[in-house]
Structure 1
Amino acid sequence: MLNLDKLSPILFLLMWSSGAIFVKMGLENASVWSLITIIAIFWRGSQFTSLAKLPLPILIKLLLSGFLLQVCYQGSYFLAINYKLSPGIVAMVLGLQPLLTPFFSKEHLSLKSYLMLILGFAGLILAVYGARDVSHITFLGLLFAVAAVLAITTGSVYQKKIQVHPIASALVQNALAACIFMVISSSVGWEVHWTTQFIISAAWMIGVVSTGAVLLLLYMLTKDSASSVSVLFYLVPILTMVFDYMAFGTTITVTTVLGSCMVIGSIYLFRQPVMTPKLTKTN
Structure 2
Amino acid sequence: MARLVFVVLWSSAFIAGVIGTDVAPPFLLLFCRFALAGLLLAGIAWVSRSPWPRGKQLWHVAVVGLLMQGVQFAGFYSAIALGLPGGVVALVQGLNPVVIALLAAGVLRERMTRRQWLGFAVGGAGVLLAVSDRLGSSLGAVLLCVVGLLGLSLGTVYQKAFTPDVDVRSGTAVHFLVATPFMGLATLLFETPHVTNWPVFGWVLAWIVLVNSVGAFLLLNVMLHRDSAARVGTLFFLTPAVTALLAWLVLGQTLSPVAVVGLALGGVGVLLATVRRGAPGATGGTASARPSTPVPAALR
* Residue deviations 1:16-48 (CA, integer Å, cap 9, x gap): 101111111111111112111111111345839
Structure 1 residue 52, shift from structure 2 partner: 8.6
Structure 1 residue 134, shift from structure 2 partner: 6.3
| Structure 1 residues without counterparts, runs of 5 or longer | 1-6, 277-283
Partner of 2:100: 101
Aligned positions, number: 267
Equivalent-residue separation in structure 1 for 2:247 and 2:37 (angstroms): 29
Of the candidates 113, 117, 127, which is equivalent to residue 114 of structure 1?
A: 117
Query: What secondary structure sits across from 2:238 in the alignment?
Result: helix
2:137 corresponds to which letter in structure 1?
H
Partner of 1:137: 138
Task: Point out the structure with max Rg over C-alpha.
Answer: 1
Query: Is the CA contact 1:95–1:121 (under 8 Å) kept in the aligned structure 2?
Result: yes
Change beyond 3 A, Cα 1:32–1:227: same
Partner of 1:150: 150
Equivalent-residue separation in structure 2 for 1:221 and 1:260 (angstroms): 25
TM-score (ref. length: structure 2): 0.78
Q: Which moved more, 1:225-234 or 1:114-123?
A: 114-123
* Residue deviations 1:113-133 (CA, integer Å, cap 9, x gap): 11111112233345567xx76
* Residue deviations 1:100-119 (CA, integer Å, cap 9, x gap): 11221223312221111111
Partner of 1:68: 67
Structure 1 residue 224, shift from structure 2 partner: 1.1
1:116 corresponds to which letter in structure 2?
G
Change beyond 3 A, Cα 1:53–1:134: closer
Partner of 1:23: 17
* Residue deviations 1:243-283 (CA, integer Å, cap 9, x gap): 0221234446766555444333321231124769xxxxxxx
Query: Is the CA contact 1:88–1:128 (under 8 Å) kept in the aligned structure 2?
Result: no
Identity of aligned residues (%): 25
Query: Is the CA contact 1:68–1:154 (under 8 Å) kept in the aligned structure 2?
Result: yes
Partner of 1:179: 181
Partner of 2:283: none
Q: Which moved more, 1:19-28 or 1:95-104?
A: 95-104
1:158 corresponds to which letter in structure 2?
Y
Alignment of 1:248-267 (within 5 A): 248-251=251-254, 258-267=261-270
Partner of 1:205: 208
| Structure 2 residues without counterparts, runs of 5 or longer | 280-300
Partner of 1:33: 27
* Residue deviations 1:206-236 (CA, integer Å, cap 9, x gap): 1111111111111111111111111111111
Equivalent-residue separation in structure 2 for 1:128 and 1:164 (angstroms): 36
Change beyond 3 A, Cα 1:145–1:113: same
Change beyond 3 A, Cα 1:164–1:69: same
